Chain A
Amino acid sequence: MLNVDNVTARYGEAQVLQGVSLGVDTGEVVTLVGRNGAGKTTLLRCLMGLHRAMTGDIEFDGRSVATLPPHKRCRIGLGYVPDDRGIFASLSVEENLTLPPVTGPEAWSLEQVYETFPVLAERRRQAGTHLSGGEQQMLAIARVLRMGARILLADEPTEGLAPLLVQQIGEIIRTVKAHGVTVLLIEQNVHFASTVADRHYLIAQGRVVESLDNAEVEQREHELLEYLGI
C-alpha cells in the first residue's frame, strides 16, 4: 500500500535521511523504532509532504505522491497525527474532529466516534487543548478515523503517557486495525511496539538498518533497549 523508495532529506546542512526504503501492506500495523534524531519524525513528515524529500519516491496505492502538497495527500487517504498530537486550542473537541474533510468511504460518523470514545462526547464543547494528554491523543486518532483515512501515520502516540494510558492507546490502535485501517507508527517503547504491531523497522542514522518481526523483537528486547538507550 505504501512504498518508500530511497528517500533522502536534509535539514539545512545536515542530511537527516540517507536513503530510506520500506513498505507497508494493506491492513498491517508497522512501527518505526529508533533513537531520537534517527530521522523517524522527518520520514513521517516527508510522507505527509510537510518536509521536502530531496530524492527518492513515495508511492501510495501504486501512485507516486512525492510531488503532492500535504492537503492532497490527506485527501487520498493519508491520516497524520504529529508528535505534539496537533490539537487546535482555538477549536472545540467537536470542531477538531470535523475540521478535516471526509476522504474515504470508511469514514466514521461522529456518533460512531462518540460511542467508541465516550470521553470525547462528554467534552465535545470544550477547547481541544483542555483535554488531558491521553485524551488529546485519542482525539487526534479519532480525527483520522472520522476522515476515513486509509493509513494512519502516527508520530509516537505513547510519548509522555502513563503506563495505563499507553495500554489504552494500544487498544485504540487495535481498534483502528480492526476497522481495516493500515498503521505506520513511530515508537520508542519496543515492548509496547511488539504488542500492537505486526512488523518493525529499526531506523538508525537516517537509514533502515533492520526489519524485525515480533518474535525477533521479543528475543532481542534487551539488546534493542540498550541500543535505544532506554
Chain B
Amino acid sequence: MSGLLQQLFNGLVSGSFYALLALGLSVIFGMLGVVNFAHGAFYMLGAFGAFVLLDSAGLNWWLALLVVPILLGVIGMVLERAFVHRLMHLFPLYNFLLTFGIALILQDLIRLKYGVTSQPYPRPTILDGMVDLGVFTYPKYQVFVLVLSIVLSVLVWLVLTRTRVGMIVRASTERAELTQSLGIDVRRWVTPVFGFGIALAGLAGVLAAPMRAVNSEMGADLIIVIFAVVVIGGLGSVVGSVAAGYIVGMLTEFGNFYIPALSQILVFVLMALVLLLRPAGLFGREEGSPA
C-alpha cells in the first residue's frame, strides 16, 4: 500500500513539471495560436539560469526562483515583439519553424559552453532531508515542488476565471476578432501572455535544477511529452493541461514501476485513445459546439 502511495506521489511530482509547462504552452497557444516549440528550451534555460547565478554570482536557489522566471519572461516578450509577432498573420507553420529554430539555437549555445554533461545543483538547505507523511517518508524538496505547482496552477486558474484580465484572455482566446470589435486591443495582451508562459517554463526549470539532471538536452527530452499532455488535456484549455499534466505524471511513474518496458510509450497510447474518443481533448471544447 505504501509503495503504491509512494508511486502516486512520484507521479504527482513529475506531473507538477508537466502541469507548469503545459499550462504555459496552452495559454500561449490559446492567445496567439502559436505552438511554441521553444518551450522546452526555456525550461532548460531556467535550470541553467539557476546554475549560472549560483556558480558565478553565488545567488541562492530562492533568489533564482524569483529572478530567473522574470528574466526569461522579459526575454520571451522581446522575442514575441521581435519575431513571433511578425509571423502571426502568416500560416501557423512559420511560427512553428521559428520557435523550433530558437529552441535549437538556445540548446546549442548551452552545449557550446557546457557540453552535454550534467551540471550539479545542490538542494536548498531548508528543503534538504525527508518529511514524514505518515505512511512513508518523502524528500522535503519534492513535497515543496508539488505544493508550489498546485498553488501556482490554482492561482493562474483564479486569475483566469475571476479577474478582468482573465476575462479578456478567455475572450481573446475564444474569438480574437470579436473581442477586438468589442473595444479591446487584443494585440496589447499578446506579448505579456507570451512572456508569462515563458516565465512559467523558466520557473519549472529552476524547480527542476536540484532534482533533475541539468544539461542542454533536458528540455528537448521533455517537450514531446508536454505536447502530448496539452493534446490530452485539450488545446488551449488551462484546466485540461494542468489535469492532464498530473495524469500523465502518474501514468509514467506507475508505468516505470510496473511495466518499465512500456513506460515511454504509455503517454502516447493515452494520447491516441483520447484523440479517438474525444478529439478535442479531455477538457477541450469541440469546435463549433456551444459548450
Name A residues whose Cβ lies closer than 8 Å to a Cβ of B. Answer: 48-50, 69-71, 73-75, 80, 82, 86, 88-91, 95, 98-101, 103, 127, 129-130, 143, 147
Instruction: Point out the residues of chain A lying under 8 angstroms from B183, CB to CB.
Output: 71, 74-75, 100-101, 103, 147
User: Does B180 belong to the interface (CB within 8 Å)?
Assistant: yes
Which of B134-142, B169-177, B244-252 touches A?
B169-177
Answer whether residue B184 sits at the interface, using C-beta atoms and an 8 A cutoff.
Answer: yes
Q: How large is the interface on B (under 10, 10 to 19, 20 to 34, 35 or more residues)?
A: 20 to 34
Q: Which residue of the partner chain B has the closest CB to A76?
A: B183
Instruction: Answer whether residue B155 sits at the interface, using C-beta atoms and an 8 A cutoff.
Output: no
For A127, give the chain B residue with the smallest CB separation.
Answer: B291
Determine if A90 and B179 form an interchain contact, defined as CB atoms under 8 angstroms apart.
Answer: no
Q: Does B56 contact A (CB under 8 A)?
A: no
Evaluate contact between B181 and A88: CB separation under 8 angstroms.
no
Can you identify 7 A-B contacts, CB atoms within 8 angstroms? A50-B181, A88-B175, A88-B178, A91-B170, A101-B183, A101-B184, A127-B290
How far, in angstroms, from A70 to B179 measured CA to CA in the complex? Answer: 9
B171 touches A99 (CB 8 A): yes
A130 to B291, Cβ gap below 8 A? yes
Report how far A1 CA is from B184 CA in the complex, Å.
23
Complex Cα–Cα for A133 and B195 (A): 38
* Bound Cα distance from A74 to B180, whole angstroms: 9
Q: A129-B290, A130-B291 are in contact. Are A70 and B180 (CB under 8 A)?
A: yes
Specify which chain A residues have a CB less than 8 angstroms from the CB of B184 in the assembled complex.
Answer: 71, 99-101
* Distance of A80 Cα from B181 Cα, bound (Å): 7
Complex CA–CA separation, A126 to B182 (angstroms): 20
A89 touches B290 (CB 8 A): yes
Bound Cα distance A89, B291 (Å): 6
Bound form: Cα–Cα A48–B178 in Å: 10
Task: Give the CA-CA distance A222 to B93 in the complex, in Å.
Answer: 52
Nearest-CB distance from A215 to chain B (Å)? 35
Q: Which residues of B contact A89 (CB under 8 A)?
A: 174, 285, 290-291
Q: Which residue of B lies closest to A86 (CB)?
A: B178
Select which of B168, B173, B175, B182 is within 8 A of A74 by beta carbon. Answer: B182
Chain A residues positioned under 8 Å from B178 (CB to CB): 82, 86, 88
Q: Is B273 an interface residue (CB 8 A)?
A: no
The answer to whether B128 has its CB under 8 Å from any CB of chain A is no
- Residue in contact with B181 in the complex, picked from A70, A90, A91, A103, CB distance below 8 Å: A70
Q: Does B167 contact A (CB under 8 A)?
A: yes
Please name all residues of chain A whose beta carbon is closer than 8 Å to the beta carbon of B167 when the two chains form the complex: 91, 95, 98-99
Q: How far is the CA of A143 from the CA of B174 in the complex (A)?
A: 18
Residues of A within 8 A of B180 (CB): 50, 69-71
Say how far A110's CB is from chain B's closest CB, in angstroms. Answer: 15
Q: Once the chains bind, are B179 and A130 in contact (CB under 8 Å)?
A: no
- The CA of A185 and the CA of B26, in the complex, are separated in Å by 38
Q: Give Cα A86–Cα B183 distance, bound, in whole angstroms.
A: 14
Q: How far is the CB of A12 from chain B (nearest CB, A)?
A: 16
Q: Give the top 7 A-B pairs by smallest Cβ distance, nearest first.
A: A74-B183, A100-B182, A129-B290, A70-B181, A70-B180, A90-B170, A100-B183
Report how far A74 CA is from B179 CA in the complex, Å. Answer: 10
Taking CB atoms, residues of chain B closer than 8 Å to A129 are 290-291
Task: Name the CB-closest residue of B to A96.
Answer: B171
Contact B290 A49 (CB under 8 A): no
B185 beta carbon closer than 8 Å to chain A? yes
Q: A71-B186, A99-B179 are in contact. List 7 more A-B contacts (CB 8 A).
A: A50-B180, A71-B183, A71-B185, A75-B183, A82-B178, A90-B170, A99-B167
From B175, which residue of chain A is reached at the shortest CB distance? A88
Chain A positions within 8 Å of B185 at CB level: 69, 71
Q: Which of A48, A73, A88 has the most CB of B within 10 A?
A: A88
The residue of chain A having its C-beta at the shortest distance from the C-beta of B169 within the complex is: A90
The answer to whether residues A71 and B174 also contact, given A89-B291, A91-B167, A99-B168 and a CB cut-off of 8 A, is: no
CA separation between A101 and B180, bound complex, in Å? 11
Indicate if the CB atoms of A80 and B182 lie closer than 8 Å: yes
Q: Which residue of B lies closest to A102 (CB)?
A: B183
Of all chain A residues, the one with the shortest Cβ separation from B167 is A95
Across the interface, name the chain B residue whose C-beta is closest to A100.
B182
- CB atoms of B170 and A71 under 8 A apart: no
Residues from chain B with Cβ under 8 Å of A50 in the complex: 177, 180-181
Least CB distance, B140 to chain A, in whole angstroms: 39
- Digit string of B139-175 for contact with A (CB within 8 Å is 1, else 0)? 0000000000000000000000000000110110111
